[in-house]
Structure 1
Amino acid sequence: MDVDPRHYEQIAIKDNDIHSIVVSYLVHNCYRETLEAFVACTGMPEPADYIEDMEKRKEILCCALEGDALKAIELTEQVACDLLENNKDLHFDLLSLHFVELVCAKKCTEALEFAQNKLMPFGKEQKLLEKLENFLSLLAYEEPEKSPIFHLLGLEYRQCVADNLNRAILAHRNLPSYTAVERLIQQAIVVRQSLNQDHGKVRHG
């Protein structure tokens, strides 16, 4: 039976529950050394089957974040061969990272050729057409970092793509694509909304 949200404060939280939440976060974000130190301190069993997966994902994510998107794509296809084929949005986003690197390096001719060969085929899908147009418009600026879409050049965009790639790889391998912390936050938001609705009903009842 579901617990009334108003009684959550009375529920005891065990150390093992907290430890599991921390482990979930560390595994998700590929913090292997921190994970090993944490399980050693707490005496928890190390999730050995995740170690190899963490190392592979970490290498892929580092490539995406450091501007080597083509290598990230190559490695992704090795660990999840059909992932990008079935997720065109993610595939486009990864290719766009390489396009951005070419633009930032002032390799405009190479960037245009890459866009024609790799990005433009995605324009057949309406949902990706606007994205494609935004990236191509970067070529019109001598200083793209001062353009209205400068955010596409920054670390925040690369981080967003890397996060989406990480979740997709985890889901492809039948592992949780969100950490326990994120799920708890989502649940807390739902509970708060439920309590607010109940409070509103009482006030207007």
Structure 2
Amino acid sequence: MIIDQDSGGFSPDLSKFSLRQGTGDMDVEEVEEVPTHLNTINSSGGFLVVSMDKLSVQYTSVNLHGHDVGVVQANCPAPVKRLMYYFEIFVKNAGAKGQIAIGFTNEHFKMRRQPGWEANSYGYHGDDGLLYRGQGKGETFGPTFTSGDTVGGGINYASQEFFFTKNGKLVGTVYKDVKGPLFPTIAVHSQNEEVNVNFGQQPFVFDIEAFTLEERMKQQMMIEKISLPLNISHRIVRSYLRHYGYQDTLNSFDLASRSTLPPIPVAQENGINEQADTYALSHRKILRQLIRSGDLDSVFGKLRDWYPQILQNESSTICFLLHCQKFIELVRDCIALLAYEEPMKSPVGYLLELCQRELVADALNSMVLSMNPSMKDTESCLQSYLERLLRQLSACCFERRSLNGDQGETFRLHRVLQSRKEGKS
């Protein structure tokens, strides 16, 4: 909050103002490196040969000791900023003993040991079908696998589990208690064993997309089981419409819901203060409509009549936004003659879009709300209850991800809304 000396009161710090169309940094898609081939440098050297394309490995020696394992990791750790990670191997030749393993290991893993035999590693082994997790003794897990089988290993970051597959079917899952970076890892351990690796260059045998969708549905079902107070979503929508001055839509919304929902008391309930958002509702409606239509001269006229204190400080953020928008409206029709044949595709095209007018309208709406003499916290006028709820949801998801070692998806509102649309189509 800042003190506006010229208006003689408090006003919201509009430097913190952001477009409602976005959700801040948490809405930006995160890009990270993904495994594409095997790491020929960090491997067990003399016990295996990696093909030229670095997607096939063969055990060429005769092992004399239990630790003569041919191990090779992927060229980088499994990506963590997603819901799932998965890769597969095709057993081209099970060799003399079929001691092939697939799993995940950390960067300090001893490269002459089977994945799962050392701490911070997990491995599903083909010769016995056992799962090894951090020690030399395995546990019953799934079937053995041999020549002609396709076996996969993955990480479910939502449930914090490893999972393994065989020939397109899920074998099982196990809790992942390792938080650091993990490398997809392959091991061969007897003569002539040979496997091909698929990091996604080819379609997987296991339907990882369906498995991922199933996990999302599990999460959605958990959310839908949460009991909410009666009409709470209705109240949140009403508060959103009030907050941004959509008076006509609010009236239509109330009319449509009158026959199905009981009357909502005006008094504050469940943390929603209706009186605060109802302040100057008709004025805010008119100002928004004028800005959306590009009539900035009328906006300035209304402000002089209704809220002259907003215009007293010509160097204020809101005055700067309004004057900039007036200039944009003046050049809107002649910009094609002055500079660009296709203004909307130009570097300044975003200034001509409706969202730019909405930004200015939202900022002015917040300023008018801050004029409310009963407003105790002027920062609360910057966002509606719905937006504050979404910010809290983002923060909770971010905290949960932090507790999982910064692994898993971040909350992206656009993706959530789009997935809901696709689910209903």
**TM-score bracket, shorter-length normalisation:** 0.5 to 0.7
Q: How many residues are treated as equivalent by the alignment?
A: 165
Instruction: Name the residue aligned to 1:111.
Output: none
Residue 53 (structure 1) aligned with residue 271 (structure 2): no
Residue 34 (structure 1) aligned with residue 252 (structure 2): yes
Candidates 279, 297, 301, aligned match of 1:74: 301
Contact 2:292/2:357, CA 8 A, preserved across alignment: yes
Displacement after TM superposition at 1:20 (Å): 2.2
Residue 172 (structure 1) aligned with residue 366 (structure 2): no
Contact 1:70/1:95, CA 8 A, preserved across alignment: no
Higher strand proportion: 2
1:45 counterpart letter in structure 2:
P
Instruction: Name the residue aligned to 2:396.
Output: 191
1:53 counterpart letter in structure 2:
A
Q: Secondary structure, in 3 states, of the residue corresponding to 2:404?
A: helix
Matches within 5 A, 1:1-205: 12-29=227-244, 30=246, 31-37=249-255, 40-41=258-259, 42=261, 43-45=263-265, 53-86=280-313, 88-106=316-334, 141=339, 143=341, 145=343, 147-173=346-372, 174=375, 176-200=381-405
Deviations 1:146-175 (A, max 9, x none): 643232223221122112222222233237
Q: Secondary structure, in 3 states, of the residue corresponding to 2:382?
A: coil
Q: Distance in 2 between matches of 1:39 and 1:76?
A: 34
Unpaired stretches in structure 2, ≥5 consecutive residues:
1-221, 267-273, 408-425
Q: Distance in 2 between matches of 1:83 and 1:92?
A: 11
Instruction: Name the Cα RMSD after superposition.
Output: 3.4
Q: Distance in 1 between matches of 2:250 and 2:235?
A: 15
The answer to which structure, 1 or 2, has the higher relative contact order (CA under 8 A, 6+ apart) is 1
2:264 counterpart letter in structure 1:
M
Higher helix proportion: 1
1:95 counterpart letter in structure 2:
H
Unpaired stretches in structure 1, ≥5 consecutive residues:
1-7, 109-137
Instruction: Name the residue aligned to 1:123.
Output: none
Q: Secondary structure, in 3 states, of the residue corresponding to 1:14?
A: coil
Identity score, percent: 25
Instruction: Name the residue aligned to 1:115.
Output: none
Deviations 1:86-110 (A, max 9, x none): 572221221222222222344x9xx
Contact 1:65/1:155, CA 8 A, preserved across alignment: yes
When the two structures are superposed, what TM-score results if normalisation uses the length of structure 2? 0.34
Instruction: Name the residue aligned to 2:160.
Output: none
Contact 1:103/1:139, CA 8 A, preserved across alignment: no
When the two structures are superposed, what TM-score results if normalisation uses the length of structure 1? 0.65
Q: Distance in 2 between matches of 1:69 and 1:103?
A: 13
Q: Distance in 1 between matches of 2:285 and 2:316?
A: 22
Seen in structure 2, the aligned counterparts of structure 1 residues 201 and 147 have a Cα distance that, compared at 3 Å, is closer
1:44 counterpart letter in structure 2:
I
Q: Distance in 1 between matches of 2:402 and 2:239?
A: 32
Q: Distance in 1 between matches of 2:371 and 2:298?
A: 19
